[in-house]
Amino acid sequence: MKPQTALATLVGALALLYGALGQVILGLSQNDLQQPLLHHHNKGPHYEVLTHYFKQDDPTTDDATFDVSQDFGLYPNTTWTELVAELQALNAQHPHRKYKLLFLQRHGEGWHNVAPADYPSDQWACYWQVLNGNSTVEWYDAELTPSGVQQLTSFQQAWASRVASDGVPIPQSYYVSPLRRTLQTWEILWSKLATTRPVIKELARETYGIGTESKRHNKEYLQRNYGFADFEAGFSQFDDRWVPDRHESSQHRKYRAQQLLNDIFLHDPSVVVSVVSHSGLIKSVLKVVHHRKWGLQTGQMVPVVVEARYNKKGDTYDLDKPWSEYRSCETS
């Protein structure tokens, strides 16, 4: 047996053993391990994007060529000051609705974004992604590449310029995924501009499971290396969501994005909010608020104005759909 095949077999066996031990030690069934982060089915309000503020809401705007560093997208018939004032007025006028401006920021380029290009796609899926890295780079809880740092340094300059010249509002609250690349992203973008500390939230993390890029470090490590951030209440010491043998379903991720919005809209009075997250989670947030499809390259951001209607039920997501399972190279 080739060494690579043997190691792949060992990795697969360990993945199954890990899952089995988790069930025995914690008394969990297989269904328990793919339950949502919040163990209830409260859908919360209905969310809808208000489409008359930003060019990114227009179906004719090309997301592949739109450069947010040059144009944040606000239509010229409204100033940023007027936009915030309108949202404040709407919040005061409608007791059963809430309105917020969300800046949805994707992290800069990470090592997990570039590493797959070095391998055939099937070998990455069945072998390399479950490892912590190779002899050159680490993609477990991937950090930013030098290119990713440069992306964000340039975008930070764009933010500072827009704040100074156009009156773009500095967010009143920040929520960030617990993965290293998103924490690095927040620090580069906001450490010089922010007036409040970011809150690390599990709900804001990327699609998790199987690939080690989606596995986070423990709380003690995060405290030691990212002391500028606060933890949400109940944040666990160890990553109790990532599992090596199953990958979160898109339905569950949309449910999780909905719960993130429920939490922010219910508990945070801020009108202007930043969420620093990942392409998958942001894609799901846009689905939940019924925004048009908008692809984000690494280091990019999309602004959205969201209405939460508490007199209308939110969408329902099918949590019974199975999560995809890890397939070793021998079974692929």
The catalytic residue among 107, 112, 252, 291 is 107
Asked if 105 and 189 count as a contact pair (C-beta separation under 8 A), the reply is yes
For the CA atoms of 183, 189, 192, 194, what is the dihedral angle to 10 degrees? -80
Q: Cα dist. 300→50, 67, 108, 283 in Å?
A: 21, 9, 8, 13
Contact assessment for residue 51 and residue 311, using Cβ atoms and an 8 Å cutoff? no
Q: How many CB atoms lie within 10 A of CB 280?
A: 18
Does the active-site annotation cover 206?
Answer: yes
Scanning 167-320, the segments in alpha helix (DSSP H) are: 180-190, 219-225, 250-267, 279-288
Q: Which of 317, 195, 191 is nearest to 253 (CA)?
A: 317
217 catalytic? Reply is no
Angle formed at CA 200 by CA 255 and CA 92, multiple of 5 degrees: 70
Quickly count: other Cβ atoms within 10 Å of residue 301's Cβ: 22
* Residue 82 CB partners (closer than 8 Å, separation 6+): none
Q: Which of 202, 206, 213, 248 is catalytic?
A: 206
Q: Which of 248, 331, 324 is nearest to 12 (CA)?
A: 331
Nearest to 97 by CA among 304, 313, 310, 314: 310
Measured CA to CA, the distance from residue 112 to residue 142 in angstroms comes to 6
Burial class (CB in 10 A: 0-12, 13-18, 19+), 214: buried
Cα–Cα distances (Å) from 210 to 82, 100, 332, in that order, read 46, 35, 15
Q: Which residues have a catalytic role annotated? A: 107, 206
